[in-house]
Structure 1
Amino acid sequence: MPRLSVIIPCYFNEDNIPVTARELVANEANFPPDVTFEYVFVNDGSGDDTLGALRRAQDAYPSRIRIVDLAGNVGSYNAIVAGMAHATGDCLAIITADMQDPPELMAQMYSHWKHGFKLVIGNRQNREETGLAVTMAKFFHWLMKNLALRNIPDGGFDFVFFDRQVATEILKLHERNTNVFYLMVWLGFAYVTIPYTRRKRQIGKSRWTLSKKVKLLVDSLLAFSFVPIRAISVLGLGLGITALFYGLYVIGLKITHPNEPAGWTTLMVVLLFVSAFQMVALGVIGEYVWRGLDAARQRPLYVVKDLYPET
């Protein structure tokens, strides 16, 4: 009897939990009767009554729901890793607590898993949402596809179904400041995509702030791409060649016009230009150095405060 573990990271989702739990359990009717289910809700240090809502959902579905209550907010990706570590299924799925991704798609994902695919990706082809957030999301995934991982699907994804082996390999990596979904693709397993339209959020307000989006972009680029470092090298080489020709020009100018006064403006422009490049270079290199330091410290990705039920 195959067992499916569905991991749901939760952060300020008090109002979503009753609807989410009910829809997930109702979705079981789309699966073959021999499949058993486990829903691993990870409370990522929520400041509202998300834990209370989860406990009430657990009382309603005691044989299905497990709760991992983290001691503090560690971010959705680390919360997902915590869910993987406590899930027991033969196959796993990740879905958001706001139900913007259709749970009924999991039955089709399960069918692909039964046919041998280790990874099945719900690929966002369209969104019911509009505005700047959607534009930024599309730009982010375009950037990642062109500068980092060329084999990721277009449109982005964070709704996935995967084999226990994929979860085991992710947990062995102990990656920090990374994108757990891109890590699944990076592992190299053949995957299949299922297109769908992402729903508009109906309950609550998203806590996915601009600062978190910027951090994710930086983390993803530095974790999977050497382009920032390579760009510094190319820019440095270009500036070096420019400086060489400009030096020859200044020497020639001095020879042909020995009484020409020194150009204060030119000197300051060159100085500021080179200084700006140095600061940008140091900033990019510093990002890599900081990530090396963070990995060397080996601090835990998350701290579990309580488990419900206790194990």
Structure 2
Amino acid sequence: MPKLSVIVPCYFNEDNIPVTVRELVANEARFPPEVTFEYVFVNDGSGDDTLGALQKAQSLFPGRIRIVDLAGNVGSYNAIVAGMAYATGDCLAVITADLQDPPELMAQMYAHWQQGFKLVIGNRQDREETGFAQTLAKVFHWLMKKLALRNIPDGGFDFVFFDQQVAAEVLKLHERNSNVFYLMVWLGFAYVNIPYTRRKRTIGKSRWTLSNKIKLLIDSLMAFSFVPIRAISVMGLGLGVVALIYGLYVIALKIVSPNEPAGWTTLMVVLLFVSAFQMIALGVIGEYVWRGLDAARKRPLYVVRGVIG
């Protein structure tokens, strides 16, 4: 009898939990009768009563819900890794607690898993959100596809269904400051892509701030691409060529017009340009260095305060 573990990271989702649990349990009717379910809710250091709401849901559906209560907020990706570590299913799925991703898609994902696919991706072909959030998301995933992982689907994804082997391989990596979903693709397993339209959030307020999104972009690029640091080398080579040409020009000017005064403006422009490049280069190198230092410390990705159920 196949067992499906559904991992749900939770952060300030007190109002979402009752609705989400009901939707997930009702969604079981779409699966074959032999499938059993386990719901692993990971409380990512929420400051509201998310834990209380989870415990209430657990009492309503005994034997189905496991709560992994983290000691502090470690971010949704590390919370997902914690859920993977405590999940016991033959196959696993990750879905958000705000139901922006359709639970009914999981039955179709399960069918692909039964056919032998280790990874099934729910791909955001479109989203009901509009404005700056939509534009930023499109730019983020376009950059990742062009500069890092060319085999990821267009539009991005954070709704996945995968085999326990994929979960085991991700847990072995102990990746820091990375993107757990891109890690699944990076492993190299063939995957199926199912496009869908992501819903607009109707309950509560998203805690996924602009600074979180920018950090995710930097983390993802640094984790899966050497383009930023290689760009420094290319820019440095380009500046070297420009400096050589300008040096030859200055020497020729000195020979032709010995009394020609040196150009203060030109000197300052070159000095400021080179200095700006050096600061940018140091910043990019620093991003890689601190990530290496963070990995060398080998601090845990998360600390579990307790497991309920």
The TM-score range, normalised by the shorter chain, is over 0.9
What's 1:21 paired with? 21
How far apart are the structure 2 equivalents of 1:113 and 1:242? 56
State whether structure 2 residue 95 is matched by structure 1 residue 95: yes
What's 1:184 paired with? 184
What's 1:130 paired with? 130
1:218-297 aligned at under 5 Å gives the runs: 218-297=218-297
Equivalent position SS for 1:89: coil
Deviation at 1:39, TM superposition (A): 0.3
How far apart are the structure 2 equivalents of 1:76 and 1:268? 47
Unpaired runs of 5+ in structure 1? none
What's 2:77 paired with? 77
Deviation at 1:268, TM superposition (A): 1.0
- Measured on the aligned residues, the alpha-carbon RMSD in Å equals 0.5
Q: Deviations over 1:218-251 (max 9, x none)?
A: 0000000010011101000000000000000001
How far apart are the structure 2 equivalents of 1:62 and 1:7? 17
Letter in 1 for 2:87: A
Letter in 2 for 1:39: Y
How far apart are the structure 1 equivalents of 2:228 and 2:44? 31
Deviation at 1:267, TM superposition (A): 1.1
Letter in 2 for 1:246: Y
Equivalent position SS for 1:301: coil
Equivalent position SS for 2:106: helix
Q: Deviations over 1:60-99 (max 9, x none)?
A: 1111000000000000000000000000000000000000
How far apart are the structure 2 equivalents of 1:125 and 1:259? 66
State whether structure 2 residue 1 is matched by structure 1 residue 6: no
What's 1:213 paired with? 213
How far apart are the structure 1 equivalents of 2:240 and 2:24? 60
Deviation at 1:152, TM superposition (A): 0.2
How far apart are the structure 1 equivalents of 2:200 and 2:292? 38
How far apart are the structure 2 equivalents of 1:122 and 1:262? 62
% same residue: 85
How far apart are the structure 2 equivalents of 1:62 and 1:143? 44
How far apart are the structure 1 equivalents of 2:265 and 2:195? 57
Deviation at 1:261, TM superposition (A): 1.4
TM-score, normalised via structure 2 length: 0.99
Dislocated runs of 4+, deviation >2 Å: none
State whether structure 2 residue 77 is matched by structure 1 residue 56: no
Equivalent position SS for 2:143: helix
Letter in 2 for 1:30: R
Letter in 2 for 1:122: G
Unpaired runs of 5+ in structure 2? none
Deviation at 1:264, TM superposition (A): 1.3
Equivalent position SS for 1:293: helix
How far apart are the structure 2 equivalents of 1:300 and 1:138? 32
State whether structure 2 residue 143 is matched by structure 1 residue 162: no
Equivalent position SS for 1:41: strand
How far apart are the structure 1 equivalents of 2:152 and 2:193? 10
How far apart are the structure 2 equivalents of 1:129 and 1:297? 39
How far apart are the structure 1 equivalents of 2:277 and 2:138? 29
How far apart are the structure 2 equivalents of 1:142 and 1:272? 32
Q: Deviations over 1:263-292 (max 9, x none)?
A: 111111111111110010010001111111
